[in-house]
Amino acid sequence: MAGLSGSGGGEPRVALVTGGSRGIGREVARQLAGQGFRVVVTSRKRRPAEAAAREIGDGVTGHQLEASDPESIRALATFVKREIGRVDVLVNNAAVLLADGESILKIAEAAFVESWRANALGPLLLTRELAPLLSKSGAGRVVNVSSGAGQISSMTTYAPAYSISKAALNAITVMLAAALPNAKVNCVDPGWVRTDMGGPGAPRGVEQGADTIVWLATLPASGPTGGFFRDRKPIAW
């Protein structure tokens, strides 16, 4: 890919996409595979991940990941370190949306805890596990899939547990960008997309939702880090 440094030696670059068996994650995996990446896609269950990998095509591997479970995160990282030995791109896409119609005054504590673990802590732990490989890459890219719901500047009463966890992911992005100077770490609002989470009435297709994610995953050396983007343009926190 033109402009992307650190990919020499003829060995395929490796991208790991969590929540990659369907929706936006699957489309991101498909596009990256089409650009020559070796891709690992994950899902909560092993079989959907493996089925998606087969359908996307050669060079794609499926692996189980429960994004809210530290043991599952470590198992995935161990697999990548032992069996592949490199990671150039990490797309933290897996997420949950719980009790979206509940008021912040009434929503159950468990919804906040599960949302935090899956949407914020999970991406942080996985990035930390893979940080040595991302730094070694020379072109390491981390893309955290956030949401406009996590923008504090325009936050409403919508889906409190989800919105707050995405705001936390945005803060994690800024800190990781500072902690990983040899990589680029950004987050993205893909917009309202027609997926199982977004529903059939959403105005965007998965191709449009994936576009900025793939752009951030393949930034040149001169590209930004520590930012929040929608449609390839920076947006307010």
Yes or no: say if 25 and 41 are a contact pair by the CB < 8 Å rule.
yes
Phi/psi of residue 84, nearest 5 degrees = -115, -50
Output the CA angle 146-150-151, nearest 5 degrees: 115
Q: What is the DSSP string of 170-217?
A: HHHHHHHHHH-TTEEEEEE---SBSSTTT-TT-SB-HHHHHHHHHHHH
Instruction: Please tell me the distance from the alpha carbon of residue 237 to that of residue 234, in angstroms, as a whole number.
Output: 9
The answer to whether 44 touches 66, Cβ cutoff 8 Å, is yes
Catalytic residue among 80, 142, 145, 162: 162
Based on its alpha-carbon atoms, the radius of gyration of the chain, rounded to whole angstroms, reads 16
Check if the beta carbon of residue 145 is closer than 8 Å to that of residue 190.
Answer: yes
Burial environment of residue 174 by CB neighbours within 10 A (0 to 12, 13 to 18, 19 or more)? middle
| Max intra-chain CA distance, the chain | 56
**Can 158 be counted among the known catalytic residues?**
no
Residues with catalytic function: 162
